[in-house]
Chain A
């Protein structure tokens, strides 16, 4: 398979989006005292109760609303999956299980953890980036 979707390098859009993500992390810590890690927020929204469940559901609702704003008020945004349904299901299971076993994902470890210089997060981020690069290159080039 060589028909992978080509995307253009957009450093300014990336930087702008990154600044917003960083600002959301800081604002959640300032107001609620919590780390914005989406894997922990998603899992806790299902497994916790009371206030611990509710603030997580509110955060997830905010994410969904941001997407709906784009879909309703603008032209939407591209979501181009590159492999079939079976692969996406396997990917989901691995992402869900792995992020909980490793206590974090790209946001909790990769952004917030690195930003506060947590040794655990730096190690986790190096490992999940390394594993992801190897996996994608094996799928596409071997």
Chain B
């Protein structure tokens, strides 16, 4: 229960951060990506603020032996820079540049129930499931 409450609270803070920063508005995100006369640099300050807190914060937390409410840290350990990482990031970037939504802001904006936002989030979930299905299919053939 403690674990779920904490996770929900973290999501709440995360979502409030996105909304306050205006990242829930794809117009603002796209105006950062579009280097024209109306450039909006806000996104750089969001990333800067988040990393400035998360950098020292993560460093400090990882000095602990274990998290407060679970048995161990579950942090990606791979250092391999492969085709999947590069291709996946490029595909994601193209989609982000089209719609102005990445996953977090998509979920926040879902609460407005605007039809195009619902469509984006449903398509995003379908894309995730498609990748999951392809992965399980190829690993089955490999092994």
Residues on A facing B (Cβ under 8 Å): 4-11, 13-36, 38-39, 42-43, 46-47, 51, 54-56, 58-71, 76-85, 87-103, 105-107, 109-112, 114-116, 118-120, 123-125, 127-137, 139-141
Contacts and interface: CB of A to CB of B under 8 A. Distances in A.
Contacts of A39: 102-103, 128
B113 to A, nearest CB: 10
A92 B45 CA distance: 25
A123 B85 contact: yes
A17 B90 CA distance: 26
Interface residues of B, number: 118
Given A4-B34, A26-B58, A30-B61, A78 B88 contact: no
Most A Cβ at <10 Å: residue of B86, B111, B114: B111
Tell me the dominant secondary structure on chain B's binding face: helix
Contacts, number: 506
Contacts of A139: 97-98
Nearest to B68: A31
Tell me the dominant secondary structure on chain A's binding face: helix
A127 B61 contact: no
A102 B12 contact: no
A7 B40 contact: yes
